[in-house]
Amino acid sequence: MPPEFWLLPKFSPIHPGKMLCYFRVVYLPMSYLYGKRFVGSITAMVQSLRQEIYIEPYHRINWNKARNMCAKEDLYYPHPLVQDLLWGFMHHFVEPVLMHLPKLREKALGVVMEHVHYEEENSRYLCIGGVEKLLCMIACYVEDPNSEAYKRHLARIPDYFWVAEDGLKMQCFASQMWDVAFANQAIISSNLAEEFAPTLRKGHEFVKASQVQENPSGNYSEMYRHTSKGAWTFSMQDHGWQTSDCTAEGLKCALLLSQISPELVGEKIETTRLYDAVNVVITLQSSNGGFLAWEPQRAFRWLEKLNPAEFFEDVLIEREYLECTSSAIQSLALFKKLHPKHRTMEIDNCISRAIKYIEDTQDPDGSWYGCWGICYTYGTWFAVVGLATCGKKYHNSSTLRKACKFLLSKQLPDGGWGESCLSSANKVYTNIPGNKSNLVQTSWALLSLIDAGQAEVDPIPIHRGIRLLINSQMEDGDFPQQITSEDSFTVCCFAHNSSNRCFPLVTGDDSNTVSSLTFGTGSEYVKAVGTRILI
């Protein structure tokens, strides 16, 4: 896509400013590099990589013929014919014309780099993610290899490094805030706050330090950014990109910590900062009651038909997410309980619409499709917790009765649950090969059953699942790392190493069937290793 797209009038339905922020920020530097026709130095490493990647000599590849080729293993979202015709027309007819309009091209490249610099400055050169950061860094290098922007990019590359057990990794996203929020909630739920007060105090300080306390600079709406003052990001304050679920979980964590003695966990966050967080959450509710992840929806849904990524789904426009909706309900309900006089009618209306969204999106079999974890187990957990927060239970909600029936139908002989990542791609619940259980997914299922009130009807399935968790805990308090349980954009799986510590801990407390001593060593392990993420 040429950089001239950024010169389209803002009312155009295909203006890139209307696209999902992740796609938009990837497209920005790529369009700049495409418009500049940049080619890096052909080093020995580049030549070696070409030999490794391509199935024929690089100089013999017919790139025009290869334009629409994709390995069948990666072809998850095939292009419709009209899209292939559109890209072919752009390449063969539009681009040659634009190449003969150098002043227009220079203007477009200038606009693109203005947006690139705005993105990097407002994220302290972290950018929205690892892929986007590297592309923006290359664009800055092409613009001026001696620029201050390029040097600042270099300084923040280590933020994306992760040294795992099997070597150095490059993360797509850092998730410090997400991890700290759930780790703190896990320890609080274990009723061991006094014993692990130093850990909670450190976590509390990080939560307070990580809240975004200002909006993006300048006239941020002109740069297609949304309100961020009061938000929490996926990682830390520097990142700057608000997300509804991270803000909601950060708000919930801050509220829970505010109910514990300051002598144990430090001074609670200022009330005005809680108000700012509530404001961010409310602004991200869609007209149908669901919550968007990053920004208000600006594009028509049909634009997704032009998604150029064959291996990702739903990446072109912002959309509502079940998980974000549930997190918003939980945080707003707790906030209303502790601060009943602030925006009461708005919060009540917001929660009511969100509940209706969750109930309306339940699948016929009683499950919900999760977009940020695998998949029906993850989605059902978030949906059940959101509904249960507002007083829905097994005895008064047919929605939750259907959810319990679905989960019980998927319980394995060993008492656990284990869902394959193929569920996300195929949109059909699929067990892990060999019908193996996954401890994180088992925890999600148990939390769902417990919150829904299944124990009042038949507690035996819950007891079986809890027994599996107890027998799986290791001597040091940790739980074994298993096959990934989380994903994004339908087919992108990632390993979230802190999940296997936090969710069994929460389950152990909620079940009321396991003593806190059993899971106390789990809290000790969270304290010892901190929160870690490999994506």
| Tokens 């629409």 belong to residue | 68
**Could you tell me which of 523, 512, 397, 521 has the C-alpha nearest to residue 462?**
512
Beta strand residue intervals within 260-378, DSSP E: 291-292, 320-321
Instruction: Give the span between the Cα atoms of 519 and 524, in whole angstroms.
Output: 9
| Tokens 């130095």 belong to residue | 41
**Active-site pick, 84, 144, 245, 276:** 245
Cβ within 8 Å of residue 285, ≥6 positions away? 291, 292, 328, 350, 353, 354
335, 275 in Cβ contact below 8 A?
Answer: no
Ramachandran sector of residue 303 (left: φ over 0; alpha: ψ -120 to 50; beta: rest): alpha
523, 533 in Cβ contact below 8 A?
Answer: no
Please state whether beta strands 320-321 and 486-488 pair in parallel, antiparallel, or not at all (unpaired).
Answer: unpaired
Active site residue 487: no
3-class secondary-structure state, position 494:
strand
3-class secondary-structure state, position 291:
strand
Instruction: Give the span between the Cα atoms of 286 and 350, in whole angstroms.
Output: 10
Per 3-state DSSP, the chain is made up of helix, strand and coil in percentages (nearest 5) of: 55, 5, 40
**Could you tell me which of 434, 464, 431 has the C-alpha nearest to residue 449?**
464
* Burial (Cβ within 10 Å: 0-12, 13-18, ≥19) of residue 82: exposed
**Could you tell me which of 23, 27, 86 has the C-alpha nearest to residue 316?**
23
For the chain, the maximum distance between any two Cα atoms, rounded to a whole number of angstroms, is: 75
3-class secondary-structure state, position 394:
coil
User: 167 phi and psi, to 5 degrees?
Assistant: 125, -175
3-class secondary-structure state, position 62:
coil
* Burial (Cβ within 10 Å: 0-12, 13-18, ≥19) of residue 39: exposed
Instruction: Give the span between the Cα atoms of 518 and 470, in whole angstroms.
Output: 8
* Burial (Cβ within 10 Å: 0-12, 13-18, ≥19) of residue 526: buried
User: 241 phi and psi, to 5 degrees?
Assistant: -90, 115
Type and span of the H or E element at 193: none
| Tokens 């193996």 belong to residue | 436
Structural tokens at position 504: 């069994």
Beta strand residue intervals within 342-460, DSSP E: none
| 3-state per-residue secondary structure call for 314-328 | CCCCCCEEHHHHHHH
Residues forming the active site: 245
